[in-house]
């Protein structure tokens, strides 16, 4: 595999989000606070099955979990 | 059906409200005071409502410029991202058994006119007019409630707590990730959102996102020399871009619609306040006149004695 992050189970969007977070965190203090607001994500989501709504979960943690599972499969 | 059911209740209600007045006929003065007090109470509550709608309008107005700026930025962003597909003349691959994924971008909050119901209606119309195997992803609670009433079986994912602020690219990325984790194989992804025409009008439109097969089979695809390895990345990234565009534009439409709705509500409340003030003053004047008549009659009567 050409991409290390792909082998780790990350999607391209996740990879971008992580690198964007790193850049934001390495900014100077005043700029950093402003920039980090742009990276916030508090979405919640629910899966639906047969017309029934499932449990509502935080999207952030669910994505992280899915990625780490993906990593387990690709190794 | 509803109106027929509601009417007896309404009649009963109106009878109930009139009853205290008719029961209080012997104490004539008291009855008049009661209606005066009732009008005063109503006037007060309408004034409070007007205050609230006015504040909401001001809040929406201040948010609007920010939302519109985000919209114009995201629009150029999304258009640039989709320029590849325009140049490559990408078309969704025609096949019978593949599913269509419909992403509806609404939001959690109401009080903004017909933004959400217009979107849901457009989605329903599309599902009726272009029959296919649809799977629906709903972003935002308002449309979720509406779609879950008509097509609960088609919903696969729903997102909420969106629309508090201008949507960030991180939001779009996270949604795109969750969508790409869906098990189904979708020939077409349609993102439905409200397009911003001007401050007064908007209309629901769809934005296409493509799967890898459609991209590779597009006529001018070879001109771009895209490696197979990065193709999946490009697809994910362009999905996030399109989603960001749709979310930001939908948000701007919502805010401007809320501003208009609250403007109208404030105007209507103002009209009602005018009407009720006149009614209130008239009734008060009538009560005073009535009292004066009574006093004068009493005085003249006792003078004659």
Q: What is the pLDDT of residues B208-225, one digit of tens each?
A: 888 887 888 888 888 787
Domain that holds residue B97: 63-262
Looking at residue B94, which CATH number applies to its domain? 3.40.1380.10
Q: Is residue B27 part of a domain?
A: no
Say what the pLDDT of residue A72 is: 55
Residue B217 C-alpha, separation from nearest chain A C-alpha, in angstroms: 22
Sign of the CA dihedral with B104 first, then B110, B111, and B114 last? positive
Touching check for A54 and chain B: CB below 8 Å?
no
Predicted local distance difference test score (pLDDT) of residue B96: 65
- In angstroms, the CA B8 to CA A63 distance is 53
Closest CB to A59: pick one of B174, B229, B233.
Answer: B174
Q: How many folded domains does chain B comprise?
A: 1
Record the pTM: 0.83
What span, in angstroms and rounded, lies between the C-alpha atoms of B136 and B144? 10
Q: Is residue A56 part of a domain?
A: no
**B216-252 in b/e burial notation, b at 16+ Cβ within 10 A?**
bebeebeeeebeeeeeebbbbbbbbbbbbbbbbbbbb
List pLDDT tens digits, range A27-38. Answer: 999 889 888 888
| pLDDT surpassing 80 at residue B157 | yes
Average pLDDT in chain B: 84
> How far is B155 from chain A, CA to nearest CA, in Å?
6
What ipTM does the predicted assembly reach? 0.87
Partner-chain residue, chosen from B152, B156, B237, that has the shortest CB–CB distance to A12: B237
User: What is the reported pLDDT for B195?
Assistant: 93
Q: Is residue A10 part of a domain?
A: yes
In a domain? residue B188: yes
- pLDDT at residue B21, rounded to an integer: 43
Residues B222, B226: Cα–Cα separation, whole Å: 7
**Domain residue limits at A11:** 1-41
Number of domains in chain A: 1
The pLDDT tens digits for B6-46 are: 444 444 444 444 444 444 444 445 555 568 888 999 999 99
DSSP letter for each residue of B205-265: EEEEEE-HHHHHTSTTGGGG---HHHHHHHHHHHHHHHHHHHHHHHHHHHHHHHHHHHHHH
Q: Is A59 part of any domain? A: no
Domain for residue B1, yes or no? no
- Shortest alpha-carbon distance between residue A62 and chain B (Å): 9
Q: Where are the alpha helices (DSSP H) in A1-75?
A: 4-7, 12-25, 29-38, 59-74
Weakest mean pLDDT among B54-68, B89-103, B121-135: B89-103
In this prediction, residues B87-96 reach a mean pLDDT of 76
- The verdict on a CB contact (< 8 Å) between A48 and B152 is yes
**Could you tell me if residue B15 is inside a domain?**
no
Looking at residues A3-23, what average pLDDT do you find? 86
Residue B291: band (very low, low, confident or very high) from pLDDT cuts 50, 70, 90: very high
Residue at B214 is within a domain: yes
Residue A74 binned pLDDT confidence (cut-offs 50, 70, 90): very low
């Amino acid at each position: 595999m050409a991409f290390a992050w792909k082998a780790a189970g990350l999607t391209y969007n996740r990879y971008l989000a992580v690198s964007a977070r790193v850049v934001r965190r390495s900014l100077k203090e005043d700029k950093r606070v402003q920039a980090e607001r742009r990276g916030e994500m508090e979405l919640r989501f629910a899966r639906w099955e047969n017309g029934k709504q499932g449990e509502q979960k935080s999207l952030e943690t669910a994505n992280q979990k899915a990625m780490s599972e993906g990593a387990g499969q690709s190794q | 059906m509803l109106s027929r059911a509601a009417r007896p209740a309404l009649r009963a209600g109106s009878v109930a409200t009139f009853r205290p007045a008719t029961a209080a006929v012997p104490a004539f003065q008291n009855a008049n005071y009661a209606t005066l007090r009732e009008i005063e109470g109503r006037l007060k509550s309408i004034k409070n409502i007007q205050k609230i709608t006015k504040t909401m309008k001001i809040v929406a107005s201040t948010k609007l410029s920010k939302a519109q700026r985000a919209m114009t930025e995201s629009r150029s962003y999304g258009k640039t991202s989709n320029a590849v597909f325009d140049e490559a003349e990408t078309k969704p691959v025609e096949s019978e058994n593949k599913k269509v994924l419909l992403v509806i971008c609404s939001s959690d909050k109401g009080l903004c006119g017909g933004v959400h119901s217009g979107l849901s209606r457009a989605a329903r119309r599309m599902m009726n007019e272009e029959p296919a195997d649809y799977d629906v992803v709903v972003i935002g609670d308002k449309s979720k409630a509406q779609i879950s009433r008509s097509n609960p079986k088609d919903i696969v994912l729903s997102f909420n707590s969106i629309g508090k602020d201008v949507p960030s690219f991180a939001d779009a990325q996270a949604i795109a990730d969750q969508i790409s984790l869906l098990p189904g194989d979708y020939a077409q992804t349609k993102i439905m959102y409200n397009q911003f025409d001007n401050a007064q009008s908007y209309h629901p439109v769809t934005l296409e996102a493509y799967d890898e097969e459609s991209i590779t089979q597009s006529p001018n695809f070879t001109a771009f020399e895209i490696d197979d390895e990065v193709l999946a990345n490009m697809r994910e990234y362009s999905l996030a871009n399109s989603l960001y565009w749709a979310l930001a534009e939908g948000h701007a439409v919502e805010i401007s619609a809320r501003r208009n709705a609250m403007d109208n509500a404030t105007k209507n409340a103002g009209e009602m306040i005018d009407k009720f003030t006149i009614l209130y003053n008239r009734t008060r004047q009538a009560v005073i006149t009535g009292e004066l008549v009574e006093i004068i009659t009493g005085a003249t009567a006792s003078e004659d004695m």
